[in-house]
Amino acid sequence: MFETVRRLRRSARVGRTAARIYFGYKRTQRRVRNLPPEAAAAAWEARHEEFAETLYRLATDLRGLYIKSGQFIGTRTDLLPEAYTRSLSRLQDAVPPHPFGVVRATIEEQFGAALEDLFARFDAEPLASASLAQVHRAQLPDGREVVVKVQYPEVAGLVRLDVRNMRTLVGIVARLERNFDFRTVVNEIASQVPLELDFEREAEMTRRVRQNLAHLPGVVVPAVVDGYVRPKVLVTEYVDGARLLDAERRDAHAPDRAALAQAITSAYGHQIMVDGLFQADPHPGNILVLPGGRVALLDFGLTKELPDAARRGFARLVLGTANRDGETIIAAFRELGVRVRNEDPEAVLATLAILFEPRPIDAGPRELRVRNRAMRANPVEQIPGDLVLLGRVIGLLRGVCASLGAPLSPMQMLRPYAEQALSR
């Protein structure tokens, strides 16, 4: 009975939020008709600020898929008002952890043993907390230092409900924002999250990616600890490195920034276009910089296998973009299943820049208006889930290359892997 009431309240909260956003924007549309341009812009900005904070509170209160969706949307500086990306980007590093008692109970239930029998030491304070799980550092009885990933107990039971609720919420957004249909994002999340909740599958994916990248000297994937894998608990070796955003420690490990950008790009280029199996939830927290300029890739919960046709289509898209060849890009779009309203090569190049290039940090109002007009003039009418996830990878790589001052764009650095994929 209590669980039923909790689910009803959860759905009602989302429904109220969706209605509040929809009717709030409708009221603003009516109110600004008779206002001068500056006053109208201020009214819209105030409304964006209000509802961006509303969605942030919704995500942090309900957690789970709402945080994951907010994290994704928070990276789309190209498609949403800045107020939304500014608020929702806080979800990348500010997910509240669960109490240690909940973590202990999950581990002991999964292994059927006391925590003290499983680990010689277990740090109660988590290293990080994410949308579906949190990770703790520990030591095995044999002395090995490890990382323990523990799934939140309530997540699995709420997946279907949350997906249905998010479709309602995003359906409202689709009525207001027609440049990009975020229902594609929700559909992709709905198909992938059940896989993310299976840590035994994640262990298998981690082993496969580790084997695929073993010959790349600059890339490390932590080993899975045999015997310490359960559906809701996964133990891997601990890797000591600098977070990508910790500039001081990162530069001490990798003073050659351009080489570091190339190492990260190569790791993803090999996964996507050579192996057809890639880490599809990239963000700076999943990348560590090690001494000697090596990089460690963490967290393979969302790991995507690409069909050969999608792998080749993306390789053609990389080459077309690197060469600024609109005709090749159009052919790649058709092969990938992307449909835009206007297939004129110049219009497609403009749309591609918006989809795969993050908005410059110092972009002024005029540049933002130009980008928005270009997107409205040639909206994406259809995009497959594979490309939604690939777009996240390219967005990460562009941000990495920009922050490290790499002389080449990610698409240019990915060119050798695209050529290798097509030559095969």
Those residues whose C-beta lies under 8 Å from the C-beta of residue 279, and which sit 6 or more positions away, are 209, 268, 271, 286, 297, 299, 300, 302, 303
The C-alpha atoms of residue 85 and residue 88 are separated, in whole angstroms, by 5
Encoded tokens for 361: 């940090």
Q: Strand, coil or helix: what is 337? A: coil
Backbone angles phi, psi at 304, to 5 degrees: -110, 135
Identify the sign of the CA torsion 199, 203, 209, 213.
positive
The C-alpha atoms of residue 91 and residue 70 are separated, in whole angstroms, by 7
Q: Strand, coil or helix: what is 143? A: coil
The C-alpha atoms of residue 317 and residue 335 are separated, in whole angstroms, by 10
Backbone angles phi, psi at 334, to 5 degrees: -65, -40
Residues designated as active site:
281
Residue with tokens 């209160």: 61
Residue 105 CB neighbour total at 10 angstroms: 14
Integer-rounded Cα radius of gyration of the chain: 22
Q: Are strands 219-220 and 294-297 parallel, antiparallel or unpaired?
A: parallel
Q: At CB < 8 A and 24+ separation, what contacts does 19-27 make? A: 19/172, 20/51, 20/54, 21/51, 21/54, 21/55, 21/172, 21/173, 21/176, 22/172, 22/175, 22/176, 24/50, 24/51, 25/51, 25/176
Q: At CB < 8 A and 24+ separation, what contacts does 321-325 make? A: 321/352, 321/356, 321/411, 322/409, 322/411, 322/412, 322/414, 322/415, 322/418, 324/349
Residue with tokens 């029998």: 117
Residues 140, 138, 302, 309: what is their CA dihedral angle, to the nearest 10 degrees? -50
